[in-house]
Structure 1
Amino acid sequence: MTQPHDPFRKDGDQPAAQQPGQYPPPAPGAGYSQQYGQPQAQQYGQPYGQQYGHPGFADPRATTYYLGYLGQEYGPYDYTALQQMASATRIKPDTTLRLADTQQYVLARDVPGVFSDKEWLTTLILSWLIGSLGIDRFYLGYTGLGILKLLTCGGFGIWALIDAVLVTMRKIPDSQGRALR
């Protein structure tokens, strides 16, 4: 009985005895760069030491962006212009941006450093429920104001109410001056 042709076996190699249910390891040089079971070298991904882990953001400060609004694009804008528009609430976290060099579409909240890593809804809930204890200010990174608000019981309720209204209107940034997500 003749064996069927095996494309992974060189001429003259004898087939190894196999038990049912076992598969032989792939032959070297059959499209595999390494031996079976050996760790493979990383062939893709970002190099080690890159600061930003999001694809397309090797350095967001060196990228030009186009703003997408109601089916039209506006721009080009640089990174500092995006930060200024975010702090002035002219763009929202859900605003669509296109990177000029890669033609990739992203949301404004995904560009590192434009918006805060703090959530607006979390801040709103903290401000309305336990704002008189200063927890909302601690969450935003204002430690000194949080302690002062805690010691005065939210400015006897007045400061807590004003903060709750300001957070509702998105007028309070985080401690680094970035708009909340």
Structure 2
Amino acid sequence: MGPPPGYGQDAPQGPPGAFVAVINGQEMGPISFEELRAHSLEGRVRSTTQVRDINGGNWFQAGAIPGLFSDREWLVTMLLSLFVGGLGVDRFYLGYTGLGVAKLLTCGGLGIWSLIDFILIVIRKLPDADGRALSA
């Protein structure tokens, strides 16, 4: 014999840690934390993307989910790359200490490395040293 009618109706119905996100104007879900991270690295989910728990509740920005986005900002990184990228300051800021030293010693790869890094940052394809996408 099964549980009585109505038993467990207050329990969450979705998997733990699952979210619903508004991607390209459509609600998509359930999406796990790992899938959200992959979407953030692809640029489909930004820190301002609206998400909510799969079980309902209020909408909030994806940047509020701990560990999903870097604590380093995209705009700061871009400005550092533009003005002092040849000295490796942008790589130091992102947590790539070894690459920052190499970039410093080579004067940004004679400018070529600096230009490539700047382009990668502008198109949001350069994550921080922990592999997290930069916040908006």
TM-score interval w.r.t. the shorter chain?
Answer: 0.7 to 0.9
Give the structure with higher Rg (CA). Answer: 1
- Report how many aligned residue pairs link the two structures: 121
1:121 corresponds to 2:75: yes
Judged with a 3 Å threshold, the aligned counterparts in structure 2 of structure 1 residues 69 and 86 are, in CA distance, closer, same or farther, namely closer
**Which consecutive residues of structure 2, in runs of 5 or more, have no partner in the other structure?**
1-14
Q: TM-score, normalised by structure 2?
A: 0.82
Question: 2:41·2:125 contact (CA, 8 Å) conserved in 1?
Answer: no
Identity, % of aligned positions: 47
CA RMSD of aligned residues (A): 1.7
Q: Is the CA contact 1:62–1:79 (under 8 Å) kept in the aligned structure 2?
A: no
State the SS of the aligned residue for 2:66. Answer: coil
Q: Partner letter of residue 128 of structure 1?
A: L
The structure carrying a bigger helix percent of its residues is 2
2:120 matches 1:166 = yes
The structure with higher relative contact order (CA 8 Å, sep 6+) is: 2
Kept in 1, the 8 Å contact 2:23–2:45? The answer is no
**Quick one: distance in 1 between partners of 2:26 and 2:123?**
27
Q: Give the corresponding residue for 1:110.
A: 64
Deviations 1:9-68 (A, max 9, x none): xxxxxxxxxxxxxxxxxxxxxxxxxxxxxxxxxxxxxxxxxxxxxxxxxxxx94211012
1:81 matched to 2:81: no
How many angstroms does 1:69 deviate by? 4.4
Alignment partner, residue 146 of structure 1 = 100
Structure with more strand by fraction: 2
Query: What stretches of structure 1 of length at least 5 have no aligned partner?
Result: 1-60
* Deviations 1:77-129, CA, capped at 9 Å, x for gaps: 11111111111112111110011235121101111111111100000000000
* TM-score between the two structures when normalised by the length of structure 1: 0.63
